[in-house]
Amino acid sequence: MSSPSATPPAGKARTALLAGISCYLIWGFAPLAFQQMGAVGADPLEVMAHRTVWGVVWAALLVVLARQSGQVRSILTDRRTMGWLALSTALIAVNWTVFVMAVNTGRMLDASLGYYLNPLLSMAAGAWLFQEKIDRWGAAAIGLAAVGVVLQAVALGHAPWISLILAFSFAAYGVIRKRISADAQSGLFVECLLLAPFGLGWVVMLQIQGAGHFTDSAASAFWLMVAGPLTVLPLALFSWAARRMPLSTMGFLQLMAPSIAFVIGLIQGESFSWLRAISFGFIWVGALVYAAGAVKRTRAARVLAPEPGLIDPPAERP
């Protein structure tokens, strides 16, 4: 018999779903905040610098709240793990910088395409590097996405480099993080810690040269400081929700962020020809096929074992 204070399973599932939705809503609307940073004069490198400086502060706070200080010390003294994290740090730095550059130069649709492609690339990487089996749903999703990318290249007159860099850098980041034993929060803290000296150095240099924007106004300081929680909080929500809800649900939710970015790009008047529309159609169908495949795999797995978030999960440990 559960204690009166215990949260009912249905309540846990609803809370996890709310956390997952909140995470992807933040990621989806984040471009508007980065555009505000651009509006106060900050270029992508300055935004990136503040993202690492304020990110390490928020990441440290979450590590303390989650009582993961011991894990951080273990990571810092493990040369192999630090080597992998140094590589993941370089990849996420490229991803963050290119993303900010894209949304602040009217390339929101390109950024959206990159994050539609990401789960499909991750699936392909899993098959290639970890011998994970791709079923016919996955193969169809990857094939549809490939057609969409080719059509996008024809529509643009060149390869969709921004989309490809975002998709490949984040997929590679995910592969590396899969190889190392570090929780999302402690790993992110170490990554921000590695980037922070460069970010702080860049901020200081810009301020000394009079080219920095942090001290221009209260609005400038506010928006640049927002880069910290904007980086850390959605990842913490994602990490919490992913452990408490079905993977198929997360598969559908992850379509929210690029869809929001896509709509923002259209509202802001980005070029959208009929050929680009067809290319996105292939990407959307591929993403939906991927999500449908995730649902099918989840239902098959439930025949053998109930999945947390679906059927009376055990009470969480204190």
pLDDT at 256: 86
- Give the chain's residues under pLDDT 70: 1-11, 130-132, 243, 246-251, 297-318
pLDDT at 10: 61
pLDDT at 303: 57
pLDDT at 197: 95
Burial of 78 (0-12, 13-18, 19+ CB in 10 A): middle
Answering whether pTM is above 0.85, one says no
pLDDT at 314: 35
The DSSP string of the chain is: ---TTSPPHHHHHHHHHHHHHHHHHHHHHHHHHHHHHHHTT--HHHHHHHHHHHHHHHHHHHHHHTT-HHHHHHHHT-HHHHHHHHHHHHHHHHHHHHHHHHHTTT-HHHHHHHHHHHHHHHHHHHHHHH-PPP-HHHHHHHHHHHHHHHHHHHHHTS--HHHHHHHHHHHHHHHHHHHS---HHHHHHHHHHHHHHHHHHHHHHHHHHT---TTT-HHHHHHHHHHHHHHHHHHHHHHHHHTTS-HHHHHHHTTHHHHHHHHHHHHTT----HHHHHHHHHHHHHHHHHHHHHHHHHHHHHHHSPPTTTS-PPPPP-
pLDDT at 33: 96
